[in-house]
Amino acid sequence: MAILIQPYRQKHEAAVVAFNRRLQSGGAEPDLVFYEHATPTWLPPDGNSVFNQYFVAVENTTVRGAYALKWQNFWFADGTVRAIGYYHHPLSEGIINKSYALVGTLLLRDAMQRAPLLYCLGMGGYNRPLPKMLIGLGWAHCLVPFYFRVVRPYRFLRQMQALRTSFWRKLAMDLAAFSGTGWAGAECYRMAVSFRNARSASHEVKTEREFSDWVNPLWERARLECAMAAVRDSATLARLYPAGDSHFTRLKISRRGGEIGWAVVGERRKDSKYGSLRVGSVVDCLAASGDMLPVVQAASNTLEELGMDLIVTNQSHQAWCRAFEAAGFFKAESNFIFAASKKLAELLDPFALHKPCLHFTRADGDGLPRNF
């Protein structure tokens, strides 16, 4: 086999369709398909600093693998801003045909050559092939904590399929739902948290149609507390959350007339693990550390008012984690992994020291178009 990895062009589209068909007929999971249009619909390469590129691994005229590379500027604690690559959607024929087992490694190596400062995010847990490979290559890595808040305990207990995994679990959850103990427990906890945070109620929340210049001073202030964070200035936010995109609600949080933070919230697409629950997500957020709690409360209240049963978020920065906990969110097991190439990890050295100040959310992955 002679594999050549090259930019995905229109002439490859039919071969990608055939590649997807082979993966599916070979038993690959339903979501393991590559984009069938060569030009990305999300963040196309049109001169903006945030953009996607697609690449295909071609043997003669047959596509044997593909991956996507998202480019975005990131801020580092030393004050530099660098273009960083995010490696996503790697797919290899090796999933269904052992003769192509090496394609996955060739794809990753190609991405590392194109973007030596490279990261991966999400990946579904450490038992999956990609994180295993990254760890084998000596990438620095950590879990991005997952937080949730149950808004409607009855519906949560009855519908949360990911937890209703055995007869006894279902029985226990149904008993808690029907007896009202689930509701009582959640209410007591919420009241305790509200009492503790009563002082933080003096903020105003406004829904914005789009992000504009007012976010820039916030970005310049908040970034100083981050070891690494994707640039979140007005141009970037307008790119990620364009005014016409109704999947997201953009919140501006102010105190005494001055902006103190923002958040982006949205309802996740239906997912079988959540049953019929309406799941809201705090997709993205920014504030200086003293102002995070009102931002979390505003985001959470907005999703509650929109009728969500459950609110979830992933947050890597320790100050955001503390803010979500203070707002009544529970921490649960995460399968959302951040992994940095060796070259990128050099910028974060020592990784253990900088890890708590990395600011990664769901917005830094490929989840914006996939999940909303």
Partner 1 sequence: MTSTILDQIRIMASDLFGVPAERISAASTPETIETWDSIQHLNLVLALEEKFGVQLSPEEIEQMKSIGEVAELVEGKLQGTPN
Among 9, 128, 132, 270, binds partner 1 (CB under 8 A): 132
Count of residues engaged in binding partner 1, rule: CB under 8 A: 20
Residues within window 107-126 making contact with partner 1, judged by CB under 8 A: 108-110, 112
Separation CA 347–CA 139 (nearest Å):
13
Of 3 and 227, which has the nearer Cβ to partner 1? 3
Per CB under 8 A, 307 contacts partner 1? no
Which H or E run includes 103? helix 103-114
Per CB under 8 A, 343 contacts partner 1? no
Give, as one character, the DSSP assignment of residue 94. Answer: G
Per CB under 8 A, 7 contacts partner 1? no
Per CB under 8 A, 201 contacts partner 1? no
Per CB under 8 A, 191 contacts partner 1? no
Among 14, 101, 184, 332, binds partner 1 (CB under 8 A): 101
Separation CA 55–CA 68 (nearest Å):
6
Q: Which stretch binds partner 1 (CB under 8 A): 104-112, 280-288, 317-325, 351-359?
A: 104-112
SS3 296: helix
Q: Which stretch binds partner 1 (CB under 8 A): 48-56, 98-106, 198-206, 345-353?
A: 98-106
The string of DSSP codes covering 243-277 is TT-TTEEEEEEEETTEEEEEEEEEEPPP-GGGTT-
Give, as one character, the DSSP assignment of residue 329. Answer: P
Per CB under 8 A, 48 contacts partner 1? no
| Residue 310: CB minimum distance to partner 1, A | 37
| Residue 106: CB minimum distance to partner 1, A | 5
| Residue 104: CB minimum distance to partner 1, A | 7
Among 79, 136, 244, 350, binds partner 1 (CB under 8 A): 136
130-162 burial code (b ≥16 CB/10 A, e <16) = bbebbeeeebbbbebbbbbbbbbbbbbbbbbee
What is the number of other CB atoms lying within 10 angstroms of the CB of residue 18? 13
Closest CA to 247 of 152, 72, 367: 367
Per CB under 8 A, 205 contacts partner 1? no
Interaction pattern, residues 138-167, with partner 1; x per rule: CB under 8 A: x-----------------------------
Dihedral sign for Cα 265, 267, 269, 275, please.
positive
Per CB under 8 A, 62 contacts partner 1? no
| Residue 116: CB minimum distance to partner 1, A | 11
Of 53 and 72, which has the nearer Cβ to partner 1? 53
Among 16, 56, 57, 310, binds partner 1 (CB under 8 A): 57
Which H or E run includes 231? none
| Residue 339: CB minimum distance to partner 1, A | 13
Separation CA 5–CA 59 (nearest Å):
9
Separation CA 58–CA 349 (nearest Å):
37
Token pair, residue 246, equals 């109704």
The string of DSSP codes covering 283-344 is EEEEE-GGGHHHHHHHHHHHHHHTT-SEEEEE--SHHHHHHHHHTTPEEE----EEEE-HHH
Dihedral sign for Cα 238, 239, 240, 244, please.
positive
Of 85 and 261, which has the nearer Cβ to partner 1? 85
| Residue 161: CB minimum distance to partner 1, A | 34
By CB under 8 A, name the binding residues for partner 1: 1-5, 57, 101-102, 104-106, 108-110, 112, 132-133, 136-138
